[in-house]
Amino acid sequence: MITLHEVHEQGSEAVKAAVLAFGARHRPNGAGPDAEPDWKWAEKHFTYLIEDIMGSATPPQASAAATVRRAENEVIGFLLAVNNRPDYRCPICVKRQRPPL
């Protein structure tokens, strides 16, 4: 499975900006808006998003590799779609009822 770091390294400028915006949604508790993101936490939530998509949208007769690749692409598409929205929250954070930043 691809990592958030790999997506950033291999992606276009738009993808890199989307990864950075996703990371910015994952600052340590109580940290100010200028604090560095908690990249381990962001990475974990990126992986959870891929797993959630794989679990809910597995087409019949798809290979495991194709399912993973499709889920990875969907998550990258999600990051691109919400990149410029200042009010979006990580769906995993919301799911776990974590307070907003």
Give residue-wise pLDDT tens across range 33-48: 788 999 999 999 999 9
The pLDDT tens digits of the residues spanning 61-95 come to: 668 788 888 899 999 999 999 998 888 889 998 88
- For residue 24, is pLDDT > 60? yes
Residue 21: inside a domain, yes or no? yes
- For residue 99, is pLDDT > 60? no
State the total domains in the chain: 1
Considering the entire predicted model, what is its pTM?
0.83
Residue 100: inside a domain, yes or no? no
Q: Domain range spanning residue 45?
A: 4-95
Q: What does 29-76 look like in DSSP terms, one character per residue?
A: TT--TTSPP-HHHHHHHHHHHHHHHHHH---TT--HHHHHHHHHHHHH
